[in-house]
Amino acid sequence: MTAKNVDPEDNNQVQTWLAHIHALAEEIGPRGPTTEGERQGHQYCRDVFAKLDFEPHWETFRSARSIFTPHLLASLAMLVAYFIYPRAGRASAVVAAVIAVVALASELLELSFITNPLRWIVPKGESQNVYAVQEPAGEHNQDLILIGHVDSQRTPLIFKSPRWVKAYQNFTTLAFVAFMIMTVLYVLGAFTQWYWVWPVSALSALCAVLLAAICMQAEGTPFTHGANDNATAVGLLLTLAERLREDPLEHTRVWFLASGCEEVQHYGAIDFLDRHLGEFTNPHALVFEMLGCAGPAWLEREGIVIPFKASPEMLVMAEEVNKAHPELDGYPVRISGGNTEMADALRRGIPAITLFGMTRENIAPYWHQVGDTVDKIDPQALARNYEFTWHMIQALDETSK
């Protein structure tokens, strides 16, 4: 099946969407977590909601400034453990084992979006979420949370091309396994004093050096303009808000969340869901990611070491929408080495799925690259993604009757 050709010039929603993308990615530009650019992006969202006669809500929170700093600290901790281990017999082995255990456990918790010692010590700044709510036209039976993040990421070497991304994904898995082996060996060595433990752990130490170098290189790179990742998501959020303001769903209350600091392990979505979880009625979440160059596609699975799978209920819904609209030529995708805010909803028991504009080869166009600018946006992809999203929203509302 070949996706249908559309004329975006005749689609008012696509034109509105393009205008929002331009405002965020070009007029405002890079929107790094906790930066002034991110704050301006959220101010833009608040202004649009207000113009649409919504009551915009602005909520602040404290967030880490970088996703790379915790992993840099963990790798440095592993190196400290490596150098301490042989210095003073059992005593230094015990100290090295404790350091390795804390670092490994912190990494596991960080990848699971859970507070840990690394989060206690990383530099932080103030960020914000902006959201608005549309009540249903009829009886309120359920809630739908639409999520798109405002912030953009740095442009490290590891995202230079799909090959670099694949190499990085493979390396991070290797490094995590190496850290696990190192930790187990040091715990055993603290009791047994086996002489071979330290030289064998040299491979793990090398992985720590490489990971630290990757993180430091990343920290020195500029933030992307973030047209595809993720001005497209915010632009769709605002475009849907305009349409649903005029044509609300029958039984579904809709929350439009422009989240902050997604690029540093989702501090914004976590803060929003924790604050408002008790206010939701039969909630579902639909997350938007990178919808300007490919798709429509829905994410089946994601994760960095720790896997998260989309809600079976919403996977079925996506498949049914695709069958009902074959002209849109949708398809399922998976991602390793990354997460979306779908994971935050799933961890709180909220059925969730991400509409992710990846290619059929599971490549995310211009992901964390300098070239992620407005001129790369494909209006045809926007039109297809808009139609698929609208049908998903309508299908969800139908289930609440």
Q: Are residues 258 and 325 in the same domain?
A: yes
Q: How far is CA 55 from CA 4, 133, 307, 329, in A?
A: 37, 8, 36, 37
What is the distance between the alpha carbons of residues 177 and 174, in angstroms, rounded to a whole number?
5
305 domain-assigned: yes
Instruction: Looking at the structure, tell me whether residues 251 and 384 fall in a common domain.
Output: yes
Residue 361's SS3 state is: coil
In the prediction, which pLDDT does 2 show? 45
Question: What is the per-residue pLDDT for 163?
Answer: 93
Instruction: Collect all residues with Cβ–Cβ distance below 8 Å to 337 and sequence separation of at least 6.
Output: 165, 168, 169, 172, 304
Distance CA 154, CA 354 (A): 22
Structural tokens at position 192: 């047994």
Question: Domain check: are 86 and 50 in the same one?
Answer: no
Residues 24 and 163 in one domain: no
Count of domains for the chain: 2
pLDDT of residue 4: 53
267 in the same domain as 309: yes
Kindly state whether residue 247 falls inside one of the protein's structural domains: yes
Residue 150 and residue 165 share a domain:
no
Query: Which of 185, 219, 253 marks a domain boundary?
Result: 219
Q: Which of 176, 196, 219 is the last residue of a domain?
A: 219
Residues 112 and 136 in one domain: no
Q: Are 294 and 358 in contact (CB under 8 A)?
A: yes
Same domain flag for 88 and 185 = yes
* CA 19 to chain CA centroid, nearest Å: 23
Residue 1 lies in a domain: no
Using CB atoms within 10 A of its CB, is residue 18 exposed (0-12), middle (13-18) or buried (19+)?
Answer: buried
Cα 399 off chain centre by: 27
Is 134 inside a domain boundary?
A: yes
Q: What's the predicted TM-score (pTM) here?
A: 0.94
Give the ranges where 52-192 is alpha helix by DSSP (H): 68-84, 89-111, 117-121, 162-192
354, two tokens: 């991400």
CA gap 318, 201 in Å, rounded = 46
Divide the 401 residues of the chain into consecutive groups of 10 and give the mean pLDDT of each group.
51 93 98 98 98 98 97 97 96 97 96 93 97 97 98 97 92 94 97 94 97 97 98 98 97 98 97 98 98 98 90 97 96 92 97 97 95 97 97 94 75
| Structural domain includes residue 2 | no
User: 191 and 301 share a domain?
Assistant: no
The three-state secondary structure class of 49 is: helix
- pLDDT value, residue 303: 87
DSSP codes joined into one string, 284-321: EEEEEE--SSS--EEEEEEEESEEEE--HHHHHHHHHH
Are 243 and 316 contained in the same domain?
Answer: yes
Please say which residue of 219, 240, 255 terminates a domain. 219
Using an 8 Å Cβ cutoff, are 340 and 287 in contact? yes
d(CA 305, CA 323): 32
Residue 379 · residue 167 · CB < 8 Å? no
Sign (positive or negative) of CA dihedral 72, 371, 338, 169: negative
Whether residue 72 lies inside any domain: the answer is yes
End-to-end CA distance of the chain: 32
CATH code, domain carrying 46: 3.40.630.10
Q: Does 214 fall in a domain?
A: yes
- Note whether 151 and 200 are same-domain residues: no
Name the 3-class secondary structure at 330: coil
Q: Based on the number of CB atoms within 10 Å of its own CB, is 279 exposed (0-12), middle (13-18) or buried (19 or more)?
A: exposed
Domain span holding position 28: 8-61+127-155+223-399
Does the residue 135 lie in any domain?
yes
Is residue 299 domain-shared with residue 233, that is, in the same domain? yes
